[in-house]
Chains A and B, each alone.
Chain A
Amino acid sequence: MVGLLVVTHGRFSRELIKSIELIIGHQKTVEALTLEESDDVNKLREEVEKKTEELDQGEGVLVLVDLLGGSPWNVSSICTKKEAVECVAGLNMPMLLEAIESRETCALQELKQICMKAAVEGVVSARELFSDRSEDSED
């Protein structure tokens, strides 16, 4: 099973996991790290390095972060110098749901790809979606 680590500004990572648990039940094996305003970024770097090693059960670790260019990204993306670690920015609920659902059946590279796809496909405008539907029903 691919290891999963979520790293964000503030408590977003922890709270997102809690929110997801409302949908799919308790998740024991997703780890979250947070960066608060007063935290030392170098300490976060060390924590990310430690966690990525701990979580690797032989199938690698996927690290999901909130924002391209933010400190969580800066410290996590560096870890991809190891083959067994992948890192993706742009965390949202569809992305993390996909990661949790598919991590047992997919290898790391494939998991990364479908998580990125899920994140993008999860961004939908209701008006556009509904207008597509009404056009479909007219056909």
Chain B
Amino acid sequence: MLKYEMIRVDDRLLHGQVLMKWIKLLKVKRVDVLSDAFASDPILKTLLEKTIPDEILLKIWSVDEGINGIYEQEGITLLLVPDVDTLFKLYENGIRLKRVSISRLPCEMGKEKIYDHVFVSREERKKLGILLNHGIDLRIQMVPDSDAIYLKDIL
């Protein structure tokens, strides 16, 4: 089964902060992206595959494929998911969540700000609450050198 160093919740998925900071800090040799939008669009998929440094293995999964794939793959990865719904789906499918880092969830209609650059809907707030109640460590952290905010303290 695939082990992961961190699950990152970030609508931008793979971008500057992840490439320049997180991959280096976590010393992972692979990155797994769970995103229906990216998995179903060959251009977006190619974009990510061509952008990642050669020494890093990148796998882009649809959410359902990825959840099964995690059991079948080997190695240590950084797991990137775009939103709270995908994170919750991992939990519902029995994947043990640890070291979950929330980076940025953009402001949209009907979403409420819980921290700088982090906006959640009522439904998402409920899901995060369930995860917290099950003792899952949820933090908001942009880059490794910024302070981690514990979600249990602010939600």
Contacts and interface: CB of A to CB of B under 8 A. Distances in A.
Interface size of B as a range: 10 to 19
Contacts of B142: 37
A41 interface: yes
Nearest to B142: A37
Contact of B116 (A38, A41, A42, A81): A38
B27 to A, nearest CB: 18
Contact of B12 (A38, A74, A77): A74
A11 B142 CA distance: 19
Nearest to A73: B51
B25 interface: no
Interface stretch (B14-22, B61-69, B89-97): B14-22
Nearest to A70: B16
B107 interface: yes
A69 B19 contact: yes
| Residue of B14, B20, B51 with most chain A CB atoms under a 10 A cut-off | B51
A49 to B, nearest CB: 13
A81 B44 CA distance: 11
Tell me whether chain B's interface is mostly helix, strand or loop, or mixed.
Answer: loop
Given A38-B117, A71-B12, 6 more contacts: A9-B16, A38-B107, A41-B12, A67-B20, A69-B14, A81-B43
Interface of B: 11-12, 14-16, 19-20, 43-44, 47, 51-52, 106-107, 116-117, 142
10 contacts: A37-B116, A37-B117, A38-B117, A42-B11, A69-B19, A71-B12, A71-B15, A71-B16, A74-B12, A78-B44
Given A69-B51, A69-B52, A81-B43, A74 B117 contact: no
Contacts of A73: 51
A108 to B, nearest CB: 20
A77 B116 CA distance: 28
A68 interface: yes
